[in-house]
């Protein structure tokens, strides 16, 4: 299968290891991964903050970069839900029939990593080995917009050596919310404080999620407290094997 990797601007810029991990996992499963260099940002931050006009060219850029791939895979539930759930409305509002057609073609083939692995490829054991205590935060967009269900948990349970700890009140938001974290920093930090307390209660060494944005937020607070809890994207755990640490 010819897979186009949509790495997302955030992961591209700040967390390249996550993109490398996605490539490693998919290639280990025998698939060809391509990184179309024309890709940039999906426009979610602009769209969600009210700058729709500015988001339209980003949607055009996305559809052009990924036209023709059998599947577009991204290590972000949030960006995947932007493409799948909001691009059709954005194209309609922009009164751009060409964009609407391009969206109709690419949006249904755009998958968040855990959905692609479990739902499209039908794989839960990707041959990973990670002998650590891990807890998983289901990001809101993965849970309630994309409805990935327990796909990430099934992948984690199949990782050899991994000790999966239940996160209390897991389905409550971490308080990131994109520009919310900067526009309402006090409320954002107050919500995050409870998420951090829940994470620490599990005794996990690693907090895992399917979105680097939420991990940047919770991880930033964990680091500020010198908690000793690391954050890792799901892909980075799935990429670990006994040979490659």
**Count of residues making up the chain:** 245
Produce one character per residue of 221-243: b if its CB has 16 or more CB atoms within 10 Å, e if not. bbeeeeeebbbbbbbbbbbbbee
Q: Crossing angle for the helix pair 185-201 and 212-224, nearest 10 degrees? A: 80
Half-sphere exposure of 142 (CA within 13 A, CB side): 31
Instruction: Give the shortest CB-161-to-another protein separation in angstroms.
Output: 26
Candidate ranges 104-112, 117-125, 129-137, 139-147; the one touching another protein (CB under 8 A): 139-147
Query: How far apart are CB 192 and another protein at their closest, in Å?
Result: 7
Binding piece for another protein, criterion CB under 8 A, among 94-102, 103-111, 135-143, 233-241: 135-143
Find the binder of another protein among 76, 135, 188, 213 (CB under 8 A): 188
CA 170 – CA 187 distance, rounded (Å): 19
Residue 34 binding another protein, by CB under 8 A: yes
- Segment near another protein (CB under 8 A); pick from 105-113, 188-196, 199-207, 234-242: 188-196
CA–CA separation, 245 and 48 (whole Å): 37
Least CB distance to another protein at residue 126 (A): 20
Q: Closest CB to another protein among 58 and 210? A: 58
178 belongs to the binding site for another protein (CB under 8 A): yes
Q: Is the Cβ–Cβ distance between 208 and 156 less than 8 Å?
A: yes
Residue with tokens 């349970």: 157
Point out which residues bind another protein (CB under 8 A): 7, 9, 11-17, 19-20, 34-41, 43, 45-52, 54-55, 57-58, 61, 86, 140-141, 143-145, 171-173, 175-192, 216-217, 219-221, 223-224
């Amino acid at each position: 299968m010819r897979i186009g990797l949509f790495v997302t601007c955030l992961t591209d810029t700040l967390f390249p290891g996550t993109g490398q991990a996605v490539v490693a996992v998919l290639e280990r499963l025998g698939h060809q991964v391509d990184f179309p260099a024309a890709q940039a940002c999906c426009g979610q931050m602009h769209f969600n903050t009210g700058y729709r006009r500015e988001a339209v060219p980003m949607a055009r850029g996305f559809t052009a970069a990924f036209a023709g791939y059998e599947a577009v895979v991204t290590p972000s539930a949030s960006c995947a839900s932007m493409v799948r759930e909001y691009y059709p409305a954005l194209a309609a509002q922009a009164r751009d029939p060409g964009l609407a057609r391009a969206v109709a073609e690419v949006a249904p083939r755009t998958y968040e990593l855990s959905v692609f692995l479990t739902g499209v490829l039908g794989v839960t054991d990707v041959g990973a080995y990670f002998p650590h205590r891990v807890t998983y935060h289901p990001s809101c967009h993965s849970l309630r917009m994309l409805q990935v269900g327990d796909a990430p948990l099934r992948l984690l349970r199949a990782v050899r050596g991994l000790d999966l700890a239940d996160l209390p009140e897991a389905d409550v938001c971490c308080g990131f919310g994109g520009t919310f974290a900067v526009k309402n920093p006090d409320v954002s930090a107050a919500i995050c404080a409870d998420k951090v307390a829940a994470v620490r209660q599990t005794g996990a060494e690693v907090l895992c999620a399917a979105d680097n944005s939420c991990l940047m937020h919770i991880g930033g607070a964990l680091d500020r407290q010198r908690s000793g809890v690391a954050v890792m994207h799901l892909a980075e755990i799935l990429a670990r094997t006994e040979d490659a640490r």
